Structure formats: structure tokens, C-alpha cells
Amino acid sequence: MSDYPISGYHGRVLVADLSRGEVRTEPLDPDTALAYLGGRGLATRLLYDAIDPACDPLGPDNAFVIAASPLIGSNAPTAGRGHMVFKSPLTGVIGTSNSGGTWGAAFKSSGYDAVVVKGAAASPVMIDIAPDRAEILPAGPLWGKTTHETTDALAGASEPGRPARVLCIGPAGENLVRFAAVANDRNRVYGRCGPGAVWGSKKLKAIRVRGKERIAVADEEKYRSGLDQALYLMKQAPVTKRLMRDLGTAGLVELINLIAMLPHKNFQDCSHRDEDVERVSGETLAKTLLEKAGSCYLCPIGCQRHTRVAGRQGGEERGEGPEYETMVLMGPLCGIYDMAAITRANYRANELGLDTMSYGGTLACAMELAERGLIGREEAPGLDLVFGGADALEALVGMTARREGLGADLAEGAFRLAAGRGRPECAMTVKKLEIPAYDPRASYTQALGYMTSPSGACHLRGGYAVSLAFFGGAREIPRFSLLQSPIAIRNMQNTGILQDSLGVCRFTGYAFSADPWARMVSGVTGRDLSVAKLEEVENRVAALERLFNVEAGATAEDDALPDRFAEVPIIVEGKERRVTREDQERMKQDYYRVRGWDAAGRPTADLVRSLGIAGRRA
């Protein structure tokens, strides 16, 4: 344990300069730690200080930061998640991605609060982190290997009590696929915004961590009061107690269809046959492919799906997934209801290291372009590139990871694919990030969330509006309220910032909100981190993300949905629903006001001052 003035932190940031082949340790300023907490907050601050947001995201001047939090190292439920922040090669704005598993806890035990990686190596390298030394090692023999091969090769450094945990990229990241992911513990991922391509551009193959460094809890009684309440509430709430374990997130498929929000054919509509939806439901997954549930570090919820499926040419394959987003975006969004095909394609995506969400969104866009005659049959020989084409789904994962044939176009993401064919309106993206598996015409609140998420269309950073409108409880709001959506989505976004900055899971939010966290983090640190103080942190991080994006060139015009959602209605509860430009503009302006930003969506000087956001530090 360290002598750092704030309990829960080691007070050390590892900085790796891959151009120079050097690593060094920098102290973590205690005021910065308390102002930004950890995880997403701290990583955003460190990134903001490390790079020019206008840099080339695939060049050596980009950096990425991964941060732990003061709760990691305690036994707070789910406290083991890591958060990675970088400039995104897919969107050109801030890339902010979160992942579970055990790497975050292992990283914290290696004696650091955060790692900053800048520059680019001339040939493949890895970073090896242990408490007594951190070094950059050559990784030539690993280059070209899948995420599974790489992780298994490097896990051999494990010792009793000090398991070695690995983050790595696969061929997709090496080939700079714009939505390449960073794999974590084999089948967890830092999925969105293309961190794998950033690593690939730096010739960084893997980061391995191990250690035994612990943290102290400054005020045991306060910590325990928060912990006990959290654990009790998690046992009461059906979602966290049982449903996630039974069905995984795929249990959502039937419900989302029932409320007319399940995307179909590149968001052309939300109309499915009930018998088709059943084929990709969580119930069917549990009955046919599920071997067992699984959990991340210190998690009682158990939503992981460990599955097996028949191979295409006989035999059996094993892996993890599909979860809800993968099931729908690589399924009904592409007109596909073949769970076995979706599952095999999911396994490929995990092994090759690319984001299943962006892959599905890009493929659906390609299918629509093909049906309109803008992608010729000769570009995908032997594949039926039409909605429902399950063969194309499976074959194109590998081709995309290797940038082969049509895969080279898909590797650019839906926006660049569609724009390259003269049809940008066929890309269902916001800020070039492919839209998640909830149709925004079925919820104005979710629409606003996609528009204003800092990373592009995202339900995890933009706010998850689905549970609000449908279930009882204090946070319920009607789905089509222009008036209430701005405050509601701001609150959902802030809750996400808190969870991401504490290294804990979104799903705890189905059982409890900020109060137990405030007590746990105040208990660990010995500082007064009340719910109100935490709200300040949330607003500070949101403003800093926005400042980054403004400097990266984003404007208020980018906070908008594709034309399809404004012009083409879907039927919800018997009525036609779309999100008109006027309604988008009105919600957006109200949201800016609620955030304290000006009419152009920029944090005002007064806000920056009152939140204590310092200018960039060299």
C-alpha cells in the first residue's frame, strides 16, 4: 500500500512513449484524482492533457488512456471494470469505451491508477506491467495471431495469487479496421469507437498486467454501510437477482419487439413476425445454445453467456455470446434470424477483434446498398449480399478483419461505406458511430441520447432510455415527451459517467443509484464524496468531453439523427412516429441549456470556471 494522501489510489500513472521505447511513472495529482475520480473521468482528463484533439487518430500523436478507480481493489460489487479513452479513428471525436472481466482489477493490483500510451513503435511491441517493473517488450511473433491465441500465449506469466491478465488486439486492429476492438480476458471487449485500430497504428499488440498491490479503506464503517445496502438491493431487484443470469441481455429481444423498438433491415422499420423474433430471443438462446452463465469480477449478476454451437462444417464451437446488441445488429437489423449463424459470426468477431455492433450496422448498410444496386454482385463473389444473407454475415467478418475484397470497404464503417457509394443517407450513424439496437423513433428520449452522446450514437454513453418509459418507479417518463427528455437523458448520462468513473457496471443501476456509491467511495477515500459532490464530477466530465469534441471539430450540427428517422415513420401503439428536425432541434437546445452549454453546444466560460476545469496542462 502506498503513502498517497488519498486512500484507494496508488498515486501513480504509467506513461509509455512507444516512439522512444520508454516507460516512466508520473505522480497522480491528488486534486485531479478527486476532481475526476477514476475510470472515464480520470482517463478523459489525462487524455485531454496528453494530446491535441485535432490530431490524426491513427498517427503517433494520438494516445489512449486506461484508468482504474478508487473502488477497484475493494470488494464493492462489480468494481473491476476498466475505461479507455482515445481519439476515435471511426468518428473523429472522443472514443470512450468500457469493459468488464478481470483486467481492471489486475491492473489496479499492479500498482498504477492509470496508463497513458503515446507515440508509435516501429515494429510490434507489448507492454508488460508488474509492480517491480514495467517495460516495453518486442512482440513480433504475436503479430497476426487472434485475440485468443495472444491471450493464451501471454497468460503463461501467471503466478499463484498473481494471475496475468491480458488486453490485446487481433488481426482487425493490426489492419486498422476503423471499428477494431481491444479484447479483454479473451471474450470481453473494449468494443466501440475503434480502439483496436489506435493500438494497431501504434504497433501495440498487447498489455499484460499482474500484481498484488492492495488499497486501504479509510473509513470501514461508512464503506460497509454503502456496501451492505448495495448488496441487499441487488438481491431484491429481479433483473439483478435472476433475469440476467437466466437469459442474459438477449432476454430483452422479445420485450423490445413488443414495444415496437426492435430494428429491422437497416432501420427501415420495426416490423417482425413473432415466430422470427422468437428464434433470436434470450429464451431460445437459453434453451438451445447456452452452456452456462458467467460473471465478471465481483459480480453477482451473471449475465455472461458461455455457449456452444454447431460448426458450419460439422463439429462444435464454443465461445461467449451473443448478447443483445450483437444478436439484433447482426440479426434482425440485417434481416437475419438464424441464431447459429449469428453466434458463429460473434465468435469470429471476438477472435479477430472487431466490434459486433459496428460490424452489424455496416453490414446492414451494405445490404441496403446492394439491394439498391450500388454494390455489385461481383464485389462479393459467392456471397448473397441481401437482407437475410446469413452466409454473407459469417464470411464477411474475416474479410473485414483482413481488409479483403469488399471487407476493405466494410472496414471503413457504415458512414464511409455509404458516402463512398454516393449515398450517405443509407448510413444509420450519429457522428459516424453505428446506431445501437433500439429504434429512436420509438422513444424521443433515446433519440436525444443518441444525438448528444459524446462518442456518437450510443446507449451506454448517451443514456439508456428504454427502462424509463416502461416500468414503474420514480424515474418513469413517457416515451414521447419532448419536455421531459432533456433532463431525463442528462440524468441518465450522468449516472453512466459515475458508474464508468468508479469502474462499476451499468446493471447495478437496476438495483440502486448514487447513494450507496457515495458511501462506498467516501468510505474508501476518507473524503466527503457525497451524491452532490459526485454530481459535480459528472457534470465536469461531461463538459470536458464536450470541450474535447469541440476542439476536435464537432459542432451542434453533428448532434443529429440520420434523415430516415426524421422523414420515415414507424408505427408505435397504432400511431405514426418519427423524430422531426424541429423536435430534434427543440430537444437539443433544451438539453444544451440543461447542461449549461451555449446555443452552439459549447460549455460556457462561466461553466468551465465554476466546474474548475483547468486548461490543458503540458
Partner 1 sequence: MMIQVKFFAYFRELFEGRDRELGLGDGSNVGDALARLCDTAARRREIFAGEELKPHLVVMVNGVPAQSLRGLATPLADGDTLAVFPMMGGG
What's the Rg (C-alpha) of the chain? 22
Is 473 an interacting residue with respect to partner 1 (CB under 8 A)?
yes
Quote the CA–CA distance of 8 and 338 in Å, as a whole number: 47
Return the number of the residue (168 or 239) whose C-beta is nearest partner 1: 239
In angstroms, give the least distance from the CB of 512 to partner 1.
13
User: How long is the chain?
Assistant: 618
Return the number of the residue (143 or 470) whose C-beta is nearest partner 1: 470
Binding mask 406-445 for partner 1 (x = CB under 8 A): ----------------------------------------
User: Residue 95's beta-bridge partner residues?
Assistant: 86
Quote the CA–CA distance of 455 and 313 in Å, as a whole number: 39
User: Residue 116's beta-bridge partner residues?
Assistant: 15, 65
Return the number of the residue (7 or 358) whose C-beta is nearest partner 1: 358
In angstroms, give the least distance from the CB of 569 to partner 1.
16
How many angstroms from the chain centroid is the CA of residue 265?
A: 23
Return the number of the residue (459 or 540) whose C-beta is nearest partner 1: 459
Using the CB atoms, write b or e for 124-158: b if 16+ within 10 Å.
bbbbbbbbeebebeebeebbebbbbebbebbbebe
149-168 binders of partner 1 (CB under 8 A): none
Return the number of the residue (37 or 466) whose C-beta is nearest partner 1: 466
503-562 binders of partner 1 (CB under 8 A): 506-507, 510
- With contacts defined by CB under 8 A, name the span among 3-11, 182-190, 468-476, 553-561 that binds partner 1: 468-476
DSSP strand E in 37-133: where? 63-67, 82-87, 94-99, 114-118, 125-129
In angstroms, give the least distance from the CB of 442 to partner 1.
10
In angstroms, give the least distance from the CB of 260 to partner 1.
6
- With contacts defined by CB under 8 A, name the span among 143-151, 172-180, 448-456, 470-478 that binds partner 1: 470-478
Residues 6+ apart with CB under 8 A from 485: 444, 445, 447, 448, 465, 477, 587, 590, 591
- The cell numbers describing 100, all together, are 468488464
In angstroms, give the least distance from the CB of 259 to partner 1.
6
In angstroms, give the least distance from the CB of 287 to partner 1.
10
In angstroms, give the least distance from the CB of 38 to partner 1.
21
Quote the CA–CA distance of 504 and 119 in Å, as a whole number: 30
- With contacts defined by CB under 8 A, name the span among 420-428, 466-474, 545-553, 577-585 that binds partner 1: 466-474
Return the number of the residue (133 or 287) whose C-beta is nearest partner 1: 287
Is 333 an interacting residue with respect to partner 1 (CB under 8 A)?
no
Quote the CA–CA distance of 181 and 142 in Å, as a whole number: 17
476-495 binders of partner 1 (CB under 8 A): 476, 478
In angstroms, give the least distance from the CB of 103 to partner 1.
19
Written as one string, the DSSP assignment of 260-282 is T---BTTTTB----HHHHHHTSH
Quote the CA–CA distance of 172 and 47 in Å, as a whole number: 24
Return the number of the residue (9 or 190) whose C-beta is nearest partner 1: 190
Return the number of the residue (156 or 472) whose C-beta is nearest partner 1: 472
- The cell numbers describing 492, all together, are 441518465
Look at phi and psi of residue 54 and say left if phi exceeds 0, alpha if psi is from -120 to 50, else beta.
Answer: alpha
Return the number of the residue (205 or 279) whose C-beta is nearest partner 1: 279
Written as one string, the DSSP assignment of 157-210 is G-BTTB--EEEE--HHHHTT-TTB-EEETTTEEE-TT-HHHHHHHTTEEEEEE-
CB count in 10 Å sphere of residue 469: 21
How many residues lie near partner 1 (CB under 8 A)? 38
Residues 6+ apart with CB under 8 A from 501: 36, 37, 38, 39, 40, 41, 42, 69, 83, 537, 538, 541
**Interface residue with partner 1, options 218, 288, 424, 470 (CB under 8 A):** 470
- With contacts defined by CB under 8 A, name the span among 49-57, 473-481, 484-492, 532-540 that binds partner 1: 473-481
CA torsion, points 395, 397, 403, 409, in degrees to nearest 10? 90
In angstroms, give the least distance from the CB of 441 to partner 1.
14
In angstroms, give the least distance from the CB of 365 to partner 1.
22
CA distances from 534 to 29, 331, 453, 513, 601 (A): 18, 39, 20, 12, 23
- The cell numbers describing 263, all together, are 430494428
Is 97 an interacting residue with respect to partner 1 (CB under 8 A)?
no
In angstroms, give the least distance from the CB of 119 to partner 1.
34
In angstroms, give the least distance from the CB of 329 to partner 1.
12
CA distances from 271 to 193, 357, 534, 561, 572 (A): 29, 20, 42, 21, 10
Quote the CA–CA distance of 616 and 618 in Å, as a whole number: 6
Asked if 448 and 589 count as a contact pair (C-beta separation under 8 A), the reply is: no
In angstroms, give the least distance from the CB of 107 to partner 1.
23
In angstroms, give the least distance from the CB of 469 to partner 1.
8
Asked if 291 and 467 count as a contact pair (C-beta separation under 8 A), the reply is: no
In angstroms, give the least distance from the CB of 60 to partner 1.
34
**Interface residue with partner 1, options 77, 282, 302, 486 (CB under 8 A):** 282
301-330 binders of partner 1 (CB under 8 A): 323-325
Return the number of the residue (232 or 471) whose C-beta is nearest partner 1: 471
Return the number of the residue (237 or 419) whose C-beta is nearest partner 1: 237
Q: At what angle do helices 485-502 and 581-595 cross, to 10 degrees?
A: 50
Return the number of the residue (460 or 561) whose C-beta is nearest partner 1: 460
202-261 binders of partner 1 (CB under 8 A): 237-239, 242-244, 246-247, 249, 251-252, 254-255, 258-260
In the three-class reduction of DSSP (H, G, I as helix; E, B as strand; rest coil), residue 433 is classed as strand
Return the number of the residue (327 or 385) whose C-beta is nearest partner 1: 327
- The cell numbers describing 532, all together, are 452532490
Is 573 an interacting residue with respect to partner 1 (CB under 8 A)?
yes
Is 464 an interacting residue with respect to partner 1 (CB under 8 A)?
yes
Return the number of the residue (183 or 252) whose C-beta is nearest partner 1: 252
Amino acid in the structure at residue 453: S
Residues that bind partner 1 (CB under 8 A): 237-239, 242-244, 246-247, 249, 251-252, 254-255, 258-260, 282-283, 323-325, 459-460, 464, 466-467, 469-473, 476, 478, 506-507, 510, 572-573
